[in-house]
Structure 1
Amino acid sequence: MDTSISSSSSPLRMSRNERSSGASPRAEVLPVGRQTVASRLRAISPSPSLQKPVETFGFDDLKDTFSVDVVAAEARPLNVPLAAPFTIASSRLEAVNNVAVRVELRSGAVGWGEAPVLPSVTAEDQPGALAEAGRACAALAAAPAAPLGAVLQNLSDALPGHAFASARAGLEMALIDAVANSIRIPLWRLFGGASKSVTTDITIPIVTPNEAAQLAAKYRGQGFQTLKLKVGKNLNSDIEVLKAIRLVHPDCSFILDANEGYTANQAIEVLDRLNEMGVTPVLFEQPVHRDDWEGLRDVSIAAMEKYRVAVAADESCRSLLDAQKIIHGNLAHVINIKLAKLGVLGALEIIDAARKARIALMIGGMVETRIAMGFAGHLAAGLGCFRFVLKIMKKCYFS
């Protein structure tokens, strides 16, 4: 299931007619069960190496040297039905209701971005994200030419913090994509050129044991060896789902994602019961509520000391301050980067802090189209520092 992305940077390709007519972009949405996480945690230590990726063009250099002159920018609703409902502990989705952002530079280069919206994760809903992105687009188009870094900083000032992170991410993606297209290099090279591919596993949402078994059998046939399971709504049901999957895919590895659904005691009980079944997850993502810092630490300590299982902070990390709290307090072993909750520049700040602290990284998403997921894939491939990568296929190549 290899896939190539042939555009110079963005995975979204548009015909000339679409660009001139103002039609909404044709975007592929992730089918249910296709949100994925890649790679396996090393047996004991979750800390990544601090190898320096190969710098080919240098995003930081371009922030100072590339002059951005925006001639047109617009935000559009991006509404796409899912092939099947996608259920996690905190929400259930039947369609994607995001915002697409298009930016055109005076050179003619066009970039696309996406503001993903999931109320349990993002502060914005679609109308709010569309309004904020629209205002930012108008400001971009009216502004004089300026260095890329200054333009991105202006966006951060206009759309600050977690409250506007999704809209900010969409604008940042579109600007950076347009710059990459302008100088005709793929995003993975712009972000460091460490690799042009990422390898992933695949997610099973909260479904019945029978449905989970059917999905697991299907994914086993497609070659997926690691399954990410959405859990956290009902502990006993979660265990039954795990048992059903083991019957049809006995050799698979598990990543558990509770999306804040458990208490600390319940999360530890899940690990105990899995151990009785002879199952040790390779990762346990966001086991407790985002603000339950003590519970997160307790689960992290118990999981590592008892079973050598690493715990990831996802919803708990919505800013650099959150990341620093997690790092300095030893609250989790892994930090999950989501562009929708951090923006691109915010994500890069946290990535830098985590790497310096030797905290493992994963890059994730929610239910985005290939616009945002493609950007995240390029970022992960280019930086080469993610132990876990959430993407649409088990292996993706970028050209």
Structure 2
Amino acid sequence: MDSAISNSPSPSPLRLSRNQGSTSGGSHRPQVLPMAGRAAGVPRLRAISPSPSPPPPPPLPQPVDTFGFDALMETFSVDVVAAEARPLNVPLAAPFTIASSRLEAVSNVAVRVELRSGAVGWGEAPVLPSVTAEDQPGALAAAARACDALAGAAAAPLGAVLQDVAGALPGHAFASARAGVEMALIDAIANSIRIPLWRLFGGASDSVTTDITIPIVTPNEAAQLAAKYRGQGFQTLKLKVGKNLNSDIEVLKAIRLVHPDCSFILDANEGYTANQAIEVLDRLNEMGVTPVLFEQPVHRDDWEGLRDVSIVAMEKYRVAVAADESCRSLLDAQKIIHGNLAHVINIKLAKLGILGALEIIDAARKAHIALMMGGMIETRIAMGFAGHLAAGLGCFRNEGCQGKAWPFGSFTDNGGTINEQLYIHLQQ
């Protein structure tokens, strides 16, 4: 793996509360699900002031083995008394545009699960038709079916219950709905035993490091966002590209004027051909710009193009290439790993489900393939869960996966979406 991965400037660190039981915060039962990014079941994350060189966090005590997720799969008896799915509609402060879609509102699904103990868990099924197979009505109907089955089932070990959910919501076609139900179940269990999710998933760290995303906008708008993020201390910007090569170059030039020292991640969301992706790297090199990562440069099924871009990017410019939309299953991940088609795999819970994501993470770690944790247009319910998972596993940080890891990323600001509120305004 290129040393640019482990040596890239760190974006702002975010710390997870040690006293927080999970994404829904202890055994508190939310009565309503507010809109505009203030959804119930929020993770109690504490934002740390961004710094180009943050001090390392103090060593953390190791989690109690009996509370590990693998152990709970066999030992924790799940007894659900109520479960429901409901629409989660949140207007965006500004449109969010990527190469494959443009959104003006979030149309997701929230899932609430209550155990007989009284513990409540929340999950979210994000919906982005260019990435997820479900639209909101489909995800809502699928999650509701699973919720009805959970509420009517006898108590059973967590592993068996999750397998039943996977059987009812199989494969990529139901991945987002499955992720939402899995989140809610795991969240409720973490609440019931009062263990923070980051501890439940391994306790490697109570913090994560994140870039921040600039969507496809005009050069002037991109410069304004970059200047704002520079003021907030963000050192790595993830730029959505792929709709128009020349316009993408102009945006990069504009950002360089206001944030000359930032690191770039390019995310084409399948928008380029292999030749166009390589041309982008060539033209950036002429500008003296080398991205630290190039995410999903070609169509998800263009395996040959993905491999060609990965080879040129690394051999010519020492730029790592990440597979995102191309990795929708364990089989896809294995193809990427064994074929050396990309250097990094982007894990998104909405395209894989929780158990599916854990399978791919395990495969990537064994193969020493770098990982990044991505998100979509989600509220803090799903993003908070992903943050805890990344922090707990520890392999999304530079010291994880034998030095081969990637900052927890794909967060957009609340000028385009709601997600900056998760980190910057959570305590308000």
* CA shift for structure 1 position 13: 8.4
Instruction: Verify: 1:357 aligned to 2:367, yes or no.
Output: yes
Within a 5 Å distance, the mapping from 1:378-389 to structure 2 comes to: 378-386=388-396, 387-389=406-408
> What is residue 4 of structure 2 aligned with on the other side?
none
CA distance in 1, matches of 2:314, 2:235: 23
Aligned residues: 376
Pick one of 169, 181, 184 that aligns with 1:174. Answer: 184
> What is residue 339 of structure 2 aligned with on the other side?
329
1:77 and 1:12, CA in 2 relative to 1: closer, same or farther beyond 3 A?
A: farther
Percentage of pairs with the same residue: 84
Paired amino acid for 1:389: F
Q: Output one character per residue of 1:116-151: Cα deviation in whole Å (capped at 9) or x when no partner.
A: 000000000000000010010000000000000000
> What is residue 219 of structure 1 aligned with on the other side?
229
Paired amino acid for 1:88: I
CA distance in 2, matches of 1:25, 1:105: 22
1:15 and 1:185, CA in 2 relative to 1: closer, same or farther beyond 3 A?
A: closer
CA distance in 2, matches of 1:3, 1:196: 6
CA distance in 2, matches of 1:105, 1:219: 41
Instruction: Indicate the larger mover: 309-318 or 56-65.
Output: 56-65
Q: Where do 4+ consecutive residues of structure 1 move more than 6 Å?
A: 12-15
Answer yes or no: is the 8 Å Cα contact 1:201–1:393 preserved in 2. no
> What is residue 49 of structure 1 aligned with on the other side?
none
Within a 5 Å distance, the mapping from 1:144-183 to structure 2 comes to: 144-183=154-193
Paired amino acid for 2:37: E
Instruction: Verify: 1:296 aligned to 2:306, yes or no.
Output: yes
Within a 5 Å distance, the mapping from 1:359-374 to structure 2 comes to: 359-374=369-384
* CA shift for structure 1 position 28: 1.4
Instruction: Verify: 1:311 aligned to 2:321, yes or no.
Output: yes
Q: Secondary structure at the match of 2:310?
A: helix
> What is residue 10 of structure 1 aligned with on the other side?
23
CA distance in 1, matches of 2:62, 2:362: 16
* CA shift for structure 1 position 199: 1.3
1:353 and 1:228, CA in 2 relative to 1: closer, same or farther beyond 3 A?
A: same
* CA shift for structure 1 position 8: 1.4
> What is residue 121 of structure 2 aligned with on the other side?
111
Answer yes or no: is the 8 Å Cα contact 2:35–2:89 preserved in 1. no
Q: Output one character per residue of 1:280-316: Cα deviation in whole Å (capped at 9) or x when no partner.
A: 0000000000000000000000000000000000000
- Give unmatched runs, 5+ long, in structure 1: 31-37, 41-52
CA distance in 2, matches of 1:152, 1:65: 13
Higher relative contact order (CA 8 A, sep 6+): 1
In the superposition, the TM-score normalised over structure 2's length comes to: 0.84
Within a 5 Å distance, the mapping from 1:85-234 to structure 2 comes to: 85-234=95-244
CA distance in 2, matches of 1:222, 1:105: 41
> What is residue 94 of structure 2 aligned with on the other side?
84
CA distance in 2, matches of 1:357, 1:158: 31
Q: Output one character per residue of 1:345-399: Cα deviation in whole Å (capped at 9) or x when no partner.
A: 000000000000000000011110000000000000000001220245599699x
Paired amino acid for 1:233: K
Paired amino acid for 2:268: A
CA distance in 1, matches of 2:214, 2:38: 16
Answer yes or no: is the 8 Å Cα contact 1:27–1:371 preserved in 2. no
> What is residue 24 of structure 1 aligned with on the other side?
33
CA distance in 2, matches of 1:272, 1:24: 48
CA distance in 1, matches of 2:62, 2:306: 35
CA distance in 1, matches of 2:254, 2:349: 33
CA distance in 2, matches of 1:381, 1:208: 34
- Give unmatched runs, 5+ long, in structure 2: 1-11, 40-49, 53-60, 397-405, 412-418
CA distance in 1, matches of 2:160, 2:245: 49
CA distance in 2, matches of 1:78, 1:340: 15
Pick one of 252, 255, 262 that aligns with 2:262. Answer: 252
Q: Secondary structure at the match of 2:225?
A: helix
Paired amino acid for 1:275: N
* CA shift for structure 1 position 177: 0.2
1:126 and 1:185, CA in 2 relative to 1: closer, same or farther beyond 3 A?
A: same
* CA shift for structure 1 position 54: 4.8
